[in-house]
């Protein structure tokens, strides 16, 4: 009979220095049986312990290729779900703090999306005319919805390719949960703004007329990232007044107005690559999460590059911030004692359909 799991309350008041030492020791004890994944937006005290760092899809694929039995995802809930879906059956996906969710992902749930799909039948036949596309920042059951209805998943890196594939299947796209990624990508594909409508999930028929739905090429879910929503076009204008030579780069989860003022638009990996490869002594205004921006600023400082956070106020991913050294240590020391806590397991019925949608994306992109 195995020993009971170590209690979280016994770790809550530990200081970060003690946690640091014990995390290193636990990692050493677990060895190759455990892999720690650190998302770009994760706080430094946790990020430094990651075996792999990057965006959510890349991390899940790296973990699935590893020999690890345990995948500890220092990110948010949907990321650990993707790791579970894409990993081998014998691998176990773990989220250090179950409260680490995603406000954007929470803006679209299966019930609301299925209601939208039913309501669309008042205007058209969605099975014949609409491809459902979910951003990877969504719950597993929404990926399963897309798998069931011949839809697909996208990331901020491959959204254009995925939309091109989607339009080749059917004439319209239902894009959720982030309206901004869908709008910014569609606009760069020369889709007029009046052919991209916003579905307000709190209103009957999304608050749209039947004519608007018939005319639309992309139906955008009324969701957004609370971090990227903070950036405003006036932040760019004010900064450029002081430093007109600045290069502006933004994540496509930023609003349309912000992205229109940016010279560069792309995913976190794109932002990192673009600034790392830029010539020395350049100045950049960056519209994405604060932890990533601060780390990048320190990294490229020796090259004379100046990196500035776009918002005048602090806006980090508060749900990502929930994963702290204390939770990570609690998970690792339990694993070292043979106990699994906070396992994330997607029901096989959803996992099978979600895998279909994810594999379509991997084949297309």
C-alpha distance across the termini of the chain, in Å: 47
Residue 5 has pLDDT above 90, yes or no: no
For the segment 83-110, what is each residue's pLDDT rounded down to a tens digit? 999 999 999 999 999 999 888 899 999 9
From the list 276, 344, 291, the residue with the least C-alpha distance to 85 is 344
For the segment 22-67, what is each residue's pLDDT rounded down to a tens digit? 999 999 999 999 999 999 889 899 999 999 999 889 999 999 999 9
**pTM of the entire predicted model:** 0.94
Residue 352 has pLDDT above 70, yes or no: yes
Structural domains in the chain, sorted by start: 8-100+320-346 (3.40.50.10800), 105-225 (3.40.50), 228-309 (3.40.50.10800)
The predicted structure's pLDDT at residue 316 = 64
Residue 3 has pLDDT above 80, yes or no: no
The predicted structure's pLDDT at residue 1 = 43
Cα–Cα distance between 232 and 255 in angstroms, integer? 8
- Please give the share of the chain, as a percent, with pLDDT higher than 90: 90
Taking the CA of residue 232 as centre, how many other CA atoms within 13 Å lie in the half-sphere pointing to its CB? 7
């Amino acid at each position: 009979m195995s020993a009971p799991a170590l209690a979280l309350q016994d770790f809550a008041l530990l200081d970060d220095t003690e946690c640091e030492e014990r995390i290193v020791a636990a990692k050493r004890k677990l060895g190759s049986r455990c892999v720690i994944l650190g998302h770009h937006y994760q706080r430094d005290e946790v990020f430094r312990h990651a075996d792999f760092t990057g965006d959510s899809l890349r991390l899940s694929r790296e973990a699935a290729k590893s020999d690890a039995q345990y995948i500890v995802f220092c990110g948010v809930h949907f990321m650990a779900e993707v790791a579970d879906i894409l990993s081998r059956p014998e691998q176990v996906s773990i989220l250090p703090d179950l409260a680490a969710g995603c406000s954007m992902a929470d803006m679209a749930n299966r019930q609301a999306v299925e209601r939208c799909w039913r309501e669309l039948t008042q205007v058209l036949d969605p099975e014949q005319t609409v491809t459902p596309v979910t951003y990877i920042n969504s719950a597993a059951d929404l990926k399963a919805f897309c798998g069931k209805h011949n839809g697909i998943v996208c990331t901020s890196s491959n959204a254009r390719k995925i939309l091109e594939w989607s339009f080749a299947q059917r004439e319209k796209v239902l894009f959720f949960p982030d309206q901004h990624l869908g709008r910014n990508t569609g606009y760069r594909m020369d889709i007029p703004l009046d052919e991209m409508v916003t579905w307000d999930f709190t209103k009957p028929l999304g608050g749209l007329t039947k004519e608007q739905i018939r005319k639309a090429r992309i139906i955008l879910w009324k969701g957004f990232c609370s971090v990227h929503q903070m950036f405003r076009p006036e932040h760019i204008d004010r900064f450029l007044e002081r430093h007109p030579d600045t290069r502006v780069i933004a994540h496509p989860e930023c609003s349309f107005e912000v992205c229109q003022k940016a010279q560069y638009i792309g995913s976190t990996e794109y932002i990192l690559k673009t600034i790392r490869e830029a010539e020395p002594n350049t100045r950049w205004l960056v519209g994405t999460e604060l932890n990533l921006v601060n780390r990048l600023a320190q990294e490229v400082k020796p090259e004379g590059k100046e990196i500035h956070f776009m918002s005048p106020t602090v806006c980090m991913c508060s749900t990502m911030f929930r994963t702290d050294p204390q939770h990570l240590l609690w998970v690792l020391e339990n694993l070292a004692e043979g106990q699994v806590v906070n396992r994330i397991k997607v029901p096989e019925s959803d996992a099978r359909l979600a895998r279909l949608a994810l594999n379509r994306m991997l084949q297309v992109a």
